[in-house]
Chains A and B, each alone.
Chain A
């Protein structure tokens, strides 16, 4: 089955760093959907067999020679999607915390013209996702900050499971300044450009390896949000 508009395509971008154990399953899970997807794994300077695992599972691997961070990997994914004229780009974490079965739910609102960005929210399906308390609190704080800056109420602004209308990405891209930790800058800039952002509930597999939520990650996100206050 093909879910495309304007004869374009759906690209999937999976930023991965040292995820040899999980990345293959994520790619296979996406391929099982039979949606004619172009799956790019952005190997962000891994020192393990992430590249081989991804390729074996059928992904196209783009390699950063050194580790640049998750947002830089996503930027590379955006650049490739823009160059290749994709219609939609979906980002999904390589650590297996997102369920590929929720993929259609994220993509359909864009195909139907109902949204420019669809965020897979871990907080909308009724369950409290299993994550450390500090991370839970951090997400709530950033949701509130985004709301203050843009008047848009979100439940999971930091979710890595998002679908983007690439034509909107093309509009936003020249305005982005952050090389790393730019996820919130992107979201705030998109909302300020009147992008339609909606959330859909997604299931989450518990994952203890994620580095998101660490102090440095939180600090850098806060820094980018503060910059947005003066942008």
Chain B
């Protein structure tokens, strides 16, 4: 019998799968889409067939299903947090570069130079 939490889990997974596909249509890369889809489909399958977790228990050398889900969830959460941190760092670097280029371009415009020359960096 399907429990309420399973239905909720599958609905959330379905929503996230659709959201990922929309992002793909908007131009998100194939690799990123594949990774996210893999994650959400796995979550959906685990909610639909919770007994599958018992198959993974001996593979991960764990005895308790709940503990396994918590540990695997934490590992995934840490990985995602790290990925977000890297993304934020890259964005910050790009913004800094952009701000510097704006400063130099405005300076060159005022000085009557050629704004296209500002790629020394």
Q: Point out residues on A near B: beta carbons under 8 Å.
A: 42, 60, 62-66, 68, 72, 75-76, 79-80, 82-83, 173, 179-180
Contacts and interface: CB of A to CB of B under 8 A. Distances in A.
B114 to A, nearest CB: 10
Contacts of A62: 103-104, 106-107
Interface in B69-117: 93, 95-97, 99-100, 102-104, 106-108, 111, 113, 117
Contacts of B63: none
B99 A79 contact: no
A64 B107 contact: no
Contacts of B95: 66
Contacts of A75: 100, 121
B100 A63 contact: no
Given A79-B120, A83-B117, A63 B103 contact: yes
B107 to A, nearest CB: 4
Contacts of B111: 60
B120 A64 contact: no
10 contacts: A62-B104, A62-B106, A63-B107, A72-B96, A76-B103, A79-B100, A83-B120, A173-B120, A173-B121, A179-B93
A179 B96 contact: yes
Contact of B100 (A60, A72, A83, A173): A72
Contacts of B118: 79, 83
Nearest to A42: B103
Q: Which 10 A-B pairs have the closest CB atoms?
A: A62-B107, A82-B120, A79-B120, A64-B103, A179-B96, A62-B103, A68-B96, A76-B100, A79-B121, A64-B99
A173 B96 CA distance: 17
Contacts of B102: 64-65
Nearest to B107: A62
A68 B104 contact: no
Contacts of B93: 179
Contacts of A72: 96, 100
Given A83-B118, A173-B121, A76 B96 contact: no
A176 to B, nearest CB: 9
Nearest to B100: A76
Given A173-B120, A173-B121, A79 B96 contact: no
B120 A68 contact: no
A82 B120 CA distance: 7
A80 B93 CA distance: 20
Contacts of B99: 64-66, 68
A180 B93 CA distance: 10
Given A63-B106, A64-B102, A179-B97, 11 more contacts: A60-B107, A65-B102, A76-B100, A76-B103, A76-B104, A80-B107, A83-B104, A83-B108, A173-B121, A179-B96, A180-B96
